[in-house]
């Protein structure tokens, strides 16, 4: 199963559309968005198989939730837990450092995906691979990742 993880899109429509096109071409079955969507219009670009969490720049949460309902996507709130292909996944924006640290050290997930820093990074805490896919806005190189489950193979994708 291929999933895409994206974060910090900050209403960057052209880059979001380019990323979504790549995801479609690669046969991505689920998309995880780690926050800082920024507006309802951006949510409406995503397909129904998208899971969102809120970031610190998601000021219009009610409008974002309504847009997610319109497209059939899921809003998990400040963090979310999913199970795909026998793997336990969590996603968070990570601006709430205490919550991020608690999830990171819970030893309850195979993967924890996060955003906020706009810096692509991966490390391990216990059994948990902690991965930031980078960002689509406010960076020199726009990136997201595609991960194959259950193998865990990660591919970083650059978006023009």
pLDDT in tens, 68-115: 999 999 999 999 999 999 999 999 999 999 999 999 999 999 999 999
Main-chain phi, psi angles of 31, to 5 degrees: -120, 130
| Distant-in-sequence, close-in-space partners of 97: CB < 8 Å, separation ≥ 6 | none
Residue pair 157/146 in contact (Cβ under 8 Å)? The answer is: yes
Residue 5 CB partners (closer than 8 Å, separation 6+)? 31, 32, 34, 91, 113, 131, 133, 144, 145, 146, 147
| Domain that residue 109 falls in | 2-159
> Is residue 26 predicted with pLDDT exceeding 90?
yes
- pLDDT band at 160, cuts 50/70/90? confident
Long-range contacts of 107-112 (CB under 8 A, 24+ apart): 109/81, 110/152, 111/87, 111/147, 111/152
The pLDDT of residue 76 is 98
pTM of the predicted model over 0.95:
yes
Q: DSSP labels for 48-107?
A: TTEEE---TT---HHHHHHHHHHHT-EE-TTEEEEEETTEEEEEE---SHHHHHHHHTS-
What pLDDT was estimated at residue 93?
98
CATH code, domain carrying 86: 3.60.21.10
Average model confidence (pLDDT) across the chain: 97
Number of domains in the chain: 1
Tokens at 117, concatenated:
């820093």
CA distance 154 to 157: 10
């Amino acid at each position: 199963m291929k999933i895409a993880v994206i974060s910090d899109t900050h209403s960057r429509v052209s880059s979001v559309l380019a990323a979504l096109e790549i995801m479609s071409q690669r046969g991505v079955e689920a998309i995880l968005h780690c926050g800082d969507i920024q507006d309802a219009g951006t949510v409406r670009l995503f397909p129904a198989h998208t899971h969102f969490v809120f970031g610190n720049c998601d000021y219009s949460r009610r409008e974002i939730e309504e847009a997610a309902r319109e497209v059939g996507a899921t809003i998990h709130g400040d963090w979310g837990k999913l199970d795909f292909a026998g793997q336990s996944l969590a996603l968070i924006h990570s601006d709430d450092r205490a919550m991020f640290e608690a999830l990171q050290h819970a030893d309850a997930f195979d993967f924890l995906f996060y955003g906020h820093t706009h810096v692509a990074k991966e490390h391990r805490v216990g059994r948990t691979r902690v991965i930031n896919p980078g960002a689509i806005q406010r960076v020199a190189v726009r990136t997201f990742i595609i991960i194959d489950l259950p193998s865990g193979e990660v591919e970083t994708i650059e978006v023009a």
